[in-house]
């Protein structure tokens, strides 16, 4: 579900891989409690795997419909925002907590403006229509 569908699938795919990389690299580089670091590495790994399995421009093994992928985006957003509180590391790992909450908000924002109606069969047709009107 999107509020506005202006973000194309290719841009969303790039954002997915960027978020996955940041969620893995930042906690490992910054350090912190094992639960705080594991949160980022785990969610980042899942985001990367789901992205690789999605039927969209940067999917590797395209088996997961992009519309189903959207549910995972909302779940990742909720996990990132809630994990510091649910796993009780807001006091001990304030920096990572803020990073995860901001990351969850960013994932939510991107999800709310993504056009999840991507179809590889429609992509060439859309490009042809746009070039005719240019």
| pLDDT tens for each residue of 35-55 | 999 999 999 999 999 999 999
121 pLDDT band, cuts 50/70/90, is: low
Contact 47, 23 (CB under 8 A): yes
Q: Is the dihedral of CA 74, 22, 4, 124 positive or negative?
A: negative
For the entire predicted model, the pTM comes to 0.84
pLDDT at site 5: 75
The percent of residues above 90 in pLDDT, for the chain, comes to 80
Mention every residue, 6+ apart, whose C-beta is less than 8 A from residue 90.
84, 97
């Amino acid at each position: 579900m999107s509020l506005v569908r202006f973000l194309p699938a290719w841009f969303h795919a790039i954002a997915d891989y960027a978020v996955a990389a940041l969620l893995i690299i930042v906690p490992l580089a910054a350090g912190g409690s094992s639960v705080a670091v594991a949160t980022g590495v785990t969610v980042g790994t899942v985001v990367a795997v789901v992205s690789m399995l999605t039927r969209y421009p940067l999917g590797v093994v395209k088996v997961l419909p992009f519309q189903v992928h959207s549910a995972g985006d909302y779940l990742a957003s909720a996990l990132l925002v809630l994990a510091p509180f649910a796993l009780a590391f807001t006091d001990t790992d304030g920096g990572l907590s803020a990073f995860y909450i901001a990351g969850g908000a960013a994932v939510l924002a991107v999800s709310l403006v993504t056009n999840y109606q991507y179809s590889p069969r429609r992509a060439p047709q859309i490009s042809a229509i746009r070039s005719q009107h240019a």
